[in-house]
């Protein structure tokens, strides 16, 4: 199941996502971490080393992989929201997935994939949604099960609702500081997010005493509030070079993660609603912009028979036959 960390700029999304990734990795054999922020800081927050490939730079290569053996599209291009066909290539959220192995950066039992940032040629003429469409294509072809854990750090604010990534996550976690502005980013999101708001919860961050957590809960309610992370001196010490202080900070953070972990593990994805939403978004994308842009009707010929359940049951049968 997939969870995204959202919130106001500087609220602590990356710090909290990295903490939860590490926490989940202590309880689960494998975690797929996703850096979906233009300011890609998740790698350093995880203390991971090595080069992280930028998915945003490999859109053509990625879509050519996802296309697999499908013939329904003919020569027509794949965009970020193109629904799969039964003959597409799919991706698992497992460490031995060829796709994850190729694009991910391994760090213990965590693998990080990174959307990446702007290049010089993007200056003055590009928007981050152009980069995020690689991740959208990946998620819409990812057959992760309720036994998989995928955790994403995202861009600041409510921007997430404007792309198909808004429905790609099973849970959204708002990281909220005890300030009016921070709480308002959450209430603004709930106002526009429609039924996605039903799967959105809150973690209080930089909490200095009960009054701070009560301040947030007064507005957001108690049911959605999963836990508090203290305003930590240890994190500052770590950022000033005291490496041991990170373990102390994790101990402070981890107390807030048990409820979130259980909630994530209890999610079940409704693949049919997911596909329905994806098809509507694709239709909208084609009508609004992409068919004109490419000069072809991108909706023509699309495999309408496809369902995620059909691929999943095909995979299950193959596993049974192979005795796995
Ligand atoms: N619990 C905490 N206690 C003390 N400082 C914290 C805590 N959480 C985060 N910070 C600090 O707050 C700052 C912002 O954190 P972080 O980069 O995680 O926020 P962000 O929401 O990801 O920011 P951006 O919107 O720029 O991506 C950092 O300096 C971080 O060290
Ligand atoms: Mg961040």
- The model's pLDDT over 17-72, given as tens digits with 9 standing for 90+, comes to 999 999 999 999 999 999 998 777 899 999 899 988 889 888 899 999 999 999 99
Name all domains of the chain by residue range, CATH numbers in brackets.
Answer: 2-322 (3.40.50.300)
Q: Which helix (H) or strand (E) holds 323?
A: none
Ligand nearest to the CA of 246: 1
Distances (CA, A) of 133 to 56, 87, 122, 125, 130: 8, 21, 15, 16, 6
Please indicate whether residue 6, judged by its CB atom, sits closer than 6 Å to ligand 1.
no
Q: Which of 159-163, 235-239, 292-296 has the lowest mean pLDDT?
A: 159-163
Distance (Å) from CA 57 to ligand 1 centroid: 27
Q: Which are the contacts of 109, defined by CB distance < 8 A and separation ≥ 6?
A: 25, 28, 29, 30, 31, 95
Distance (Å) from CA 11 to ligand 2 centroid: 8
Contact 110, 46 (CB under 8 A): yes
pTM, whole model, 2 decimals? 0.94
Query: Alpha-carbon Rg of the chain, whole angstroms?
Result: 20
Average pLDDT across the chain, whole number: 91
Contact 155, 8 (CB under 8 A): no
């Amino acid at each position: 199941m997939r969870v995204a960390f959202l919130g106001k700029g500087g609220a602590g999304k990356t710090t909290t996502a990295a903490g939860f990734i590490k926490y989940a990795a202590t309880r689960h054999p494998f975690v797929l971490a996703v850096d979906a922020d233009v300011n890609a800081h998740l790698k350093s927050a995880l203390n991971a080393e090595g080069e992280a490939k930028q998915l945003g730079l490999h859109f053509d290569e990625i879509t050519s992989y996802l296309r697999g053996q499908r013939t329904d599209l003919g020569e027509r291009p794949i965009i970020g929201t193109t629904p799969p066909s039964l003959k597409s290539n799919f991706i698992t959220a497992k460490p031995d997935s060829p796709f994850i192995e190729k694009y991910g950066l391994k760090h213990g039992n965590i693998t990080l994939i990174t959307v990446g940032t702007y290049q010089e040629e993007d200056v003055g003429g590009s928007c981050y949604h152009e980069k995020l469409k690689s991740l959208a294509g990946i998620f819409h072809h990812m057959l992760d099960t309720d036994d998989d854990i995928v955790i994403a750090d995202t861009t600041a604010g409510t921007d997430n609702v404007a792309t198909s990534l808004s429905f790609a996550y099973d849970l959204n976690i708002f990281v909220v500081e005890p300030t009016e502005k921070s709480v308002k980013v959450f209430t603004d999101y709930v106002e526009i997010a429609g039924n996605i708001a039903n799967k959105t919860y809150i973690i209080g961050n930089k909490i200095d005493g009960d009054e701070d957590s009560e301040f947030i809960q007064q507005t957001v309610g108690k049911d959605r509030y999963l836990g508090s992370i203290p305003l930590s001196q240890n994190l500052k010490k770590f950022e000033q070079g005291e490496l041991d202080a990170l373990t102390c900070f994790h101990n402070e953070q981890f107390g807030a993660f048990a409820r979130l972990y259980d909630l994530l593990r209890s999610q079940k994805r409704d693949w049919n609603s997911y596909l329905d939403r994806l098809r509507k978004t694709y239709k909208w994308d084609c009508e609004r912009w992409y068919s004109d842009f490419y000069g072809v009707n991108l909706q023509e010929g699309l495999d309408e028979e496809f369902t995620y359940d059909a691929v999943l049951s095909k995979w299950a049968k193959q596993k049974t036959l192979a005795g796995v």
